[in-house]
Amino acid sequence: MSEEQPASTAPATHPGDEFERQPVPEHALKGPTAFWGMYAGEHTAGTEFMIGPLFVAWGVSAFDLLAGLLVGNLLAVLSWRYVTAPIATRYRLTLYYQLERICGRKLVVLYNLANGILFCFLAGAMVTVSATAVGVPFENVRMPTFQDTLPTNAAWCLTVAVLGAAMTFVAIRGYGFVARVGHLAAPWMFLIFVACGLVMLGKLGSVNLVELLTPVQGHQSRIGFWGVVFFAWFCNAAMHIGMSDLSVLRFARKPSYGWASAAGMFLGHYIAWICAALLLVYWVRHKGVDPSQGMAPGPMVWDAVGWAGLICVIIAGWTTANPTIYRAGLAFQSLYPRMSRATGTLIAGALCTLAGLFPAVAMKLLDFVGLYGTTLAPVGAIILVEVYLARRFGLLQDWAAQTGRSFNVAVLLAWAIPLVLFYAAYFGWGVFPSYLTLPVYLLTGALYLGLAKWLNRLESVPVGR
Amino acid sequence: MERVMQGLAFGALALTVVPPGLFLLQRLGESSMKAWLLVAAVLWFVTAPWALKGGAR
């Protein structure tokens, strides 16, 4: 898993904001290795230590896990290659600028708010994961299990609060340093996952993955093959079909650079997840842990590979939480342009630390990632309709930019109606969120087509991008 | 100097997977394996700026 960038609703003013409101020029395009490296590093994060064991806790069978991840990750790569990359290299604009041209500035601010809040919860999950590693040397810290939703004890709260405060401080003052450490740590972190897997195979006394990953008798499976497929496909839905990665792939010379996402999917979301799953398999089989209760990642990694593992969990959590806090801060800042970036980041850091105190988000990460993707991905359907169908159906493209309006009601309704139905299905019937990502996405696209034709029909500005 | 550091960096990566591999084959004890992994971690973070484009250097 990974995180995305916040929308910008103001002209680029800081040196990191490159070509935010103009197509990327030829001289700024990058070669393929930059993308292979970026995707490989970005998708080996602290949360991978949670996702692998959660599959074991959910009683996913060996075949469903091994084959489901293969198919789901392949579909995710195909989405990056054939949905995101062609649009990114055709227009070379960020998602946020494209959205602003379609929806208007005010609606983009609403998207930013949703983004910022979800970022805080995601960063909170990363703080939780890191805290399970920091807490290992301290006996008083009671580690959360997969069933815990509330803070476990005062020592746990203190650990999370110190870690969250440190991460927020660094996000405000020294973001560049953490980004550099993350860049340097990426290859080593992936190999620590591999090391955990090898050690677990040694401790379990078998290299037969199918036998090892078969759930213990009587452990009811919560999701099957298709659940794994849809989760693997849509855990980064906001980035591929949701078009957030337009911001990255607009620097690609050719759409074929979209294949680089395979590095992230098959190293981070296949090998790393399976290695992390083996950690819990060992604790269930040899230490008698109840699989549905699970075990926090810190103690499992400590037991497997010692200090190097703890360092890895802390760095993996820290280096992914930090940019997330930073970006959430920017998203909040965009709501109130007079607010300083430091204040925005402080608010985001406080929210993220508060979320980190409650293990609910990290321990229900399979659900949360589905909610996150399904909430943000539908805006990608709006872009798809604009690019491929608007002209054919006689819609006014870039409605806000063409009319000078700042709020496109058709987009709001097309986004909100399927989401209301989705949240009703999730909270009412407990449907696994990843099953609904595609229906919500398609419904958003169809609704936008109809609503834009109906609500924006009176406009008489010429069609064309 | 640069080539030496690059060599050490890749050595550190090898040292991150070889000891667990030897542990799997029962050729190395658990405490030794963990000690080597810590050495590899330190070595990697010292030398990685020379091995990766866009590193701290």
Tell me the torsion sign for CA atoms A211, A213, A216, A218.
negative
Given a cut of 60, is residue A11 above it in pLDDT?
no
Structural domains of chain A, ranges and CATH numbers in brackets: 31-365 (1.10.4160.10)
DSSP A24: P
Report residue A405 as tokens: 């309006």
Which range, A127-136, A142-151, A161-170, A414-423, has the best average confidence (pLDDT)?
Answer: A414-423
pLDDT (tens digit, 9 = 90+) per residue, B11-42? 999 999 999 999 999 999 999 999 999 999 99
CB atoms within 10 A of CB A266: 19
Distance from CA of A262 to the nearest CA of B (A): 20
Given a cut of 80, is residue A400 above it in pLDDT?
yes
If phi > 0 it is left, if psi is from -120 to 50 it is alpha, else beta; for residue A394 that is: left
> By the CB < 8 Å criterion, does A150 face chain B?
no
Cβ of A183 within 8 Å of Cβ of B21? The answer is no
Report residue B27 as tokens: 């050729």
d(CA A374, CA A371): 5
CB atoms within 10 A of CB A213: 20
> By the CB < 8 Å criterion, does B7 face chain A?
no
Which of A18, A195, A47 minimizes the C-alpha distance to A123?
A47
d(CA A296, CA A282): 13
Cβ of B20 within 8 Å of Cβ of A309? The answer is no
Beta bridge partners of A30: A252
Residue A277's pLDDT is 97
Q: What are the chain A neighbours of B40 within 8 Å (beta carbons)?
A: 188, 308
- Find the mean pLDDT for residues A340-348: 88
Cβ of A180 within 8 Å of Cβ of B55? The answer is yes
d(CA A41, CA A58): 27
Beta-carbon contacts of A428 under 8 Å, excluding residues fewer than 6 positions away, are none
Residue B53's pLDDT is 64
For B17, name the nearest residue in chain A, comparing CA atoms only.
Answer: A195
Cβ of B52 within 8 Å of Cβ of A201? The answer is no
Beta bridge partners of A252: A30
Cβ of A198 within 8 Å of Cβ of B48? The answer is no
Place of tokens 């599959």: A55
Beta bridge partners of B1: none
Q: What are the chain B neighbours of A198 within 8 Å (beta carbons)?
A: 17, 20-21, 23-24
d(CA A321, CA A125): 8
Task: Give the residue, A341 or A386, on which the prediction is more confident.
Answer: A386
Strand, helix or coil at A44? coil
Out of A183, A201, A305, the one facing B24 most closely (by C-beta) is A201
Out of B23, B34, B38, the one facing A202 most closely (by C-beta) is B23
Which of the four pLDDT bands, split at 50, 70 and 90, describes residue A233? very high
d(CA A186, CA A319): 10
Which of A127, A100, A122, A123 minimizes the C-alpha distance to A111?
A100
Distance from CA of B13 to the nearest CA of A (A): 6
Residue B56's pLDDT is 45
Q: What are the chain B neighbours of A207 within 8 Å (beta carbons)?
A: 24
ipTM of the complex: 0.94
Cβ of B20 within 8 Å of Cβ of A305? The answer is yes
d(CA B8, CA B12): 6
Cβ of B20 within 8 Å of Cβ of A195? The answer is yes
Alpha helices in A80-174 (DSSP H): 85-91, 95-103, 105-134, 154-173
- Find the mean pLDDT for residues A71-90: 97
Given a cut of 60, is residue A290 above it in pLDDT?
yes
Cβ of B40 within 8 Å of Cβ of A308? The answer is yes
Beta-carbon contacts of A449 under 8 Å, excluding residues fewer than 6 positions away, are A385, A389, A393, A395
- Find the mean pLDDT for residues A102-112: 89
Average pLDDT, chain A: 89
> By the CB < 8 Å criterion, does B6 face chain A?
no
Mutate to test the interface with A, among B24, B36, B46 (most CBs of A within 10 A): B24
> By the CB < 8 Å criterion, does A178 face chain B?
no
Out of A183, A198, A307, the one facing B24 most closely (by C-beta) is A198
Distance from CA of B29 to the nearest CA of A (A): 11
Given a cut of 50, is residue A4 above it in pLDDT?
no
Place of tokens 């989401």: A419
For B19, name the nearest residue in chain A, comparing CA atoms only.
Answer: A195
Given a cut of 60, is residue A16 above it in pLDDT?
no
Cα-flanking dihedrals φ and ψ of residue A30, to 5°? -115, 160
> By the CB < 8 Å criterion, does A194 face chain B?
yes
Distance from CA of B24 to the nearest CA of A (A): 4
pTM of the model: 0.90
Which of the four pLDDT bands, split at 50, 70 and 90, describes residue A459? low
Which of the four pLDDT bands, split at 50, 70 and 90, describes residue A9? very low
> By the CB < 8 Å criterion, does A306 face chain B?
yes
